[in-house]
A = this chain, B = another copy of it.
Amino acid sequence: MSPLPKRQQNKLDRERRILNAALKVFAETGYSGANMDAVAIEAGVSKPTLYQYFQSKEALFSAMMLGERDQMLDVFEHPSARGMVADLMEFAWDYADTVLRPDLLSLARLIIGEVQRFPEIGRAYQEVGPDRLLRGIMDYLEGQRRAGRLAFDDAELAAQDLWGLILSAPRTQALYMPDRTPTRAEIARYLNNGLRVFLKAYSTQPETDLAELVRLIADHSLNQVQHDD
């Protein structure tokens, strides 16, 4: 079954449990407010064991943050088959579903709240989060530009615009009001509108693409109703 000897496997399991517990506790109360006893209890581990795995509170915090960061690396794929508008719509929902996940919002709040004390972490996340995301969007948009379906000079600005149009509003709101998680319908409202404005400003065939968008939105809301619990 297990490829590793039990000793090492246990060690890895515990380390993972500790890191998960650390994320939870730090995210709830911030770095200074977090309590190492609480981390130990949450991880189901005694405090001396905790300190055997991580030499200090700060070391645990850094390890947890960089570990979380590395998990974000392999998130976004972008298949491209059913046309640009459908691709953009799929992007948009993927990004929304990721960026608005409660655990990632907590993490973002933690980073933002601690960034003055740990500036490296802010930069580290900027690189693998927003920057990487942006590069993915840019690459795709560049491809569509070369194919003659979009028109722009500066791919970075185009990508920033897409992001800002689609997710700036719901994400900002979610950051400030953790209890008011936006519903799928609210997200859809921002997202559909954002795509519409983006296509209007950047598409080389606005009429065609906007019609396609309208069609996809109708499809999507049908699917939503079907998938509702």
- The reply on A96 being an interface residue by CB < 8 A is no
- The reply on A55 being an interface residue by CB < 8 A is no
* A32 CB contact (under 8 Å) in B29, B126, B179: B29
A123-B177, A176-B122 known; A161+B193 contact, CB < 8 A? yes
Residues in B with CB closer than 8 Å to A115 are 109, 175-178
A111-B176, A176-B115 known; A197+B161 contact, CB < 8 A? yes
State which size class the interface on A falls in: 35 or more
- The reply on A184 being an interface residue by CB < 8 A is no
- The reply on A31 being an interface residue by CB < 8 A is yes
Contact at A168–B177, with CB atoms within 8 Å? no
Residues in B with CB closer than 8 Å to A154 are 193
Contact at B113–A109, with CB atoms within 8 Å? yes
The dominant DSSP class at the A interface is helix
Residues in B with CB closer than 8 Å to A31 are 30, 32-33
- The reply on A84 being an interface residue by CB < 8 A is no
Contact at B161–A165, with CB atoms within 8 Å? yes
Residues in B with CB closer than 8 Å to A178 are 115-116, 119, 122
* A28 CB contact (under 8 Å) in B29, B110, B116, B190: B116
Chain A residues 175 to 207 lying within 8 A of chain B, measured CB to CB, are 175-179, 189-190, 193-194, 197, 200-202
Pairs A-B, 7 closest by C-beta atoms:
A113-B113, A164-B168, A164-B164, A32-B33, A32-B32, A168-B168, A160-B169
Q: Chain A residues in contact with chain B, CB under 8 A?
A: 27-33, 106, 109-117, 119, 122-123, 125-126, 130, 154, 157, 160-161, 163-165, 168-169, 172-173, 175-179, 189-190, 193-194, 197, 200-202
- List 16 additional A-B contacts (Cβ < 8 Å) besides A31-B32, A115-B176, A160-B168: A29-B116, A30-B114, A31-B33, A109-B112, A111-B176, A112-B112, A112-B175, A115-B178, A119-B178, A122-B178, A123-B176, A157-B190, A160-B169, A161-B197, A164-B168, A200-B201
